[in-house]
Structure 1
């Protein structure tokens, strides 16, 4: 069973970095941090000058409770079935699901195919876009 969601594309592009010897980034220009035994993972907005692998994020318009099962799987599953890698940063209210920037259109189509409503690129959050 798919938990259909209204998703929008987060403005901008992101970088996902691994800092193996850091406990905190040297700046405050980050979006999400995860500290693990193997080091620090940092998600930050991509600089226009960065040549690193870029990611684009999908984010749900409506928050969900922490006890609602299947919400992330409903988004990650169709992307995995389409061979699209993801990186996820979860918040209290929703999940930021990052996909490689060059696969944005393919990812949006895979999500629409299973019933999610994906706002067209550049649409304001809350816009229904898509189908």
Structure 2
């Protein structure tokens, strides 16, 4: 699979009592019984863990098996944590920013093409 590194950095927030964020500066939202998870562009003014994203260059249908496993499997084997959110066409796989080189190497070793 061909992946590209999404420009910029992200932050992941958990808002336990929210049903929707107060602003519209988000990239992805997931609402669950334990609260709202918000992925947004990392603010230079907020001290938080920063994440970088890998995204597939080619859209796949929702019934194509193994697409996400093919990406997170090598990362798990390398001990790189992930946070994943999916779109209709592909998956956004986030890894901690300080593990980017390691994640890129693991994906390339697994046969994936990775573009910056």
Please report the TM-score for the alignment, with normalisation by the length of structure 1. 0.88
Question: Quick check: 1:49 aligned with 2:71?
Answer: no
CA offset digits 1:61-107 (Å, max 9, x no partner): 00001111000000000000000000001000000000000000100
1:17-49 CA-partner distances (Å, limit 9, x unpaired):
000000000000000000000000000000112
- Report 1:33-72 matches (<5 A): 33-72=29-68
Match of 2:77 in 1: 81
- Measured in 1, the distance between the counterparts of 2:45 and 2:53 equals 19
Of 100, 104, 107, the residue aligned with 1:108 is 104
Residues in 2 aligned to 1:113 and 1:54: alpha-carbon distance in whole angstroms = 24
Measured in 2, the distance between the counterparts of 1:83 and 1:8 equals: 20
**Matching of residue 95 in structure 1 with residue 91 in structure 2:** yes
- Note the residue ranges of structure 1 that are not aligned, 5 or more in a row: 122-131
Once residues 83 and 96 of structure 2 are traced to their aligned partners in structure 1, the CA distance between those partners, rounded to angstroms, is 9
Aligned residues: 116
Task: Tell me how large the CA RMSD over aligned residues is.
Answer: 0.5
